[in-house]
Amino acid sequence: MATLRPFKAIRPKKEYASKIAALPYDVMDSEEAKIMAQDNPYSFLHVDKAEIDLDNLTDIYDKKVYEKAKENLAGLVKGGAMVQDEKAQLFIYRLIMNGKAQTGIVGCTSIDDYLGNVIKKHELTREEKEADRTNHVDTCDAHTGPIFLTYRYNVKIKRIIDVWTRKQPVYEFTAEDGVKHIVWAVDDNRIINKIGNIFDGIENLYIADGHHRAASAVKVGLKRREQNPEYTGEEEFNYFLAVAFPDTDLRIMDYNRVVFDVNELTTEEYIKKVADKFEISVYEEEQPYTPKDKHTYGMYFEGKWYTLKAKNGTYNPEDPVDRLDVSILQNNLLNPVLGIQDPRTDKRIDFVGGIRGVKELERRVAKNKNGVAFTMYPTTVNDLMAIGDANKVMPPKSTWFEPKLRSGLFIHPLG
């Protein structure tokens, strides 16, 4: 059964919350982060991407980067912008984007739940990215960004949230991207215990986003156990920071593909090969084609939009991975036609989250002249859970969640 327990958070003073809160470290590169934080010494990017405060030639995985992150975090506390709670609490975190709200509970979940597969995964991790966050957590002695979890809707949790969110929030601000963030502190031990007992009856939690952070948190926890062989299991390093949202609140956006060339095929050869596995037709409307149903795609090629529909026999409807739209495209077009064998490492393919807009695909194809782009129907939360339940993994870049959780609002110290 799932664990969700309170913690003594290090968090911003109310007047600093909007200045400190930052987008996750993995949605921008170092140069973008430097621009975002250049006029804001309080931005949490100075902690999560501390290389922005070092020489431009510094390797982002250099030990100096993690030491700088630790220094910057300590500076926020020493300077009074952040303080640690005296009492262990849970938090309710609501994000509102384009009028749609998603509301989760912030707490700590167990590394043993992760190891025991109570927390379900759907994505493979990359060693260098995992090592990066492991070093970051270990050096900072804290989890600086929450893992984004989901669970199947629970009416008892909903009732608690509905009552508690009538109270005064501890934070309420609108970020520069237009997303509103509201946080309530749950400081009533009776309610904290009630929430914990409800989660204890939940069979599984699912990682929606943050696989590398979760894996890194677990590695640090196991390392600390080795260093402390008489650990009791109650130490903070046995738990990691997470926000759990009900599946009914989540929104997964399309995660589109751009391939920089058509594998030396002529126009006629390429279209013919695509037509082997997909029903294909020219899209006559002026606007780009955005799929409205599963197993359909838009394709932008040589200045035209086409509609594609997967033919019968191109996937196994009983296999939760094989029937994913990203799998169908990969297995029937990207690999056999365009030669993209491993989309994780192939330099000829790029991925564009739906938040960037379809026009971004046209721009990138035009830049490469002989490229091709595909619009995708979004993966669903049910898809994600079905794959987690089957203990399988999705192809890379299958999900793009919006809005993004802000880092810096809740820090979980390990000491």
Compute the distance between CA of residue 361 and CA of residue 260 in angstroms, rounded to an integer: 11
Contact criterion met (CB below 8 Å) for 247 and 183: no
Tracing tokens 């995992």 back to the chain, one arrives at 130
Residues 292 and 247 placed together within one structural domain of the fold = no
Instruction: Quote the percentage of the chain above a pLDDT of 70.
Output: 100
Q: Is the pLDDT of residue 357 over 90?
A: no
Residues 101 and 82 placed together within one structural domain of the fold = yes
Tracing tokens 């590695």 back to the chain, one arrives at 219
Per-residue tokens: 218? 């677990």
Residues 123 and 220 placed together within one structural domain of the fold = yes
Contact criterion met (CB below 8 Å) for 195 and 186: yes
3-state secondary structure at position 340: coil
Q: For the chain, what percentages of helix, strand and coil (3-state, to nearest 5) are there?
A: 35, 25, 40
What's the pLDDT at 367?
85
For residue 100, the cross-strand partners are: 97
Question: 350 — phi, psi (to 5°)?
Answer: -135, 160
What's the pLDDT at 126?
84
2, part of any domain: no
4, part of any domain: no
Residues 246 and 259 placed together within one structural domain of the fold = no
Residue 368: alpha-carbon gap to chain centroid = 29
389, part of any domain: no
Compute the distance between CA of residue 15 and CA of residue 33 in angstroms, rounded to an integer: 23
Q: Is the pLDDT of residue 312 over 90?
A: yes
What's the pLDDT at 344?
84
H-state helical runs in 228-321: 267-277
1, part of any domain: no
Tally: H helices and E strands in the chain: 13, 20
Residues 241 and 262 placed together within one structural domain of the fold = no
Compute the distance between CA of residue 382 and CA of residue 151 in angstroms, rounded to an integer: 11
Residues 335 and 211 placed together within one structural domain of the fold = no
364, part of any domain: yes
Provide the mean pLDDT of the chain. Answer: 95
What is the tally of structural domains in the chain?
2
Residues 324 and 244 placed together within one structural domain of the fold = no
How much is the average pLDDT of 37-61?
95
Per-residue pLDDT tens digits for 109-131? 999 999 999 999 998 888 999 99
Compute the distance between CA of residue 238 and CA of residue 10 in angstroms, rounded to an integer: 18
Contact criterion met (CB below 8 Å) for 40 and 280: no
Residues 48 and 191 placed together within one structural domain of the fold = yes
Residues 77 and 219 placed together within one structural domain of the fold = yes
Residues 289 and 225 placed together within one structural domain of the fold = no
**pTM tops 0.85:** yes
CA contacts within 13 A on the Cβ side of 387: 24
3-state secondary structure at position 67: helix
Domain membership of residue 372 as a residue range: 255-377
What's the pLDDT at 240?
98
327, part of any domain: yes
Residues 191 and 212 placed together within one structural domain of the fold = yes
Longest dimension (CA), the chain: 69
Residues 147 and 202 placed together within one structural domain of the fold = yes
Secondary structure of 106-139 as H, E, C letters: EEEEEHHHHHCCCEECCCCCCHHHHHHHHHHHHH
349, part of any domain: yes
Measured from the Cβ of residue 342, the count of other Cβ atoms closer than 10 Å reads 10
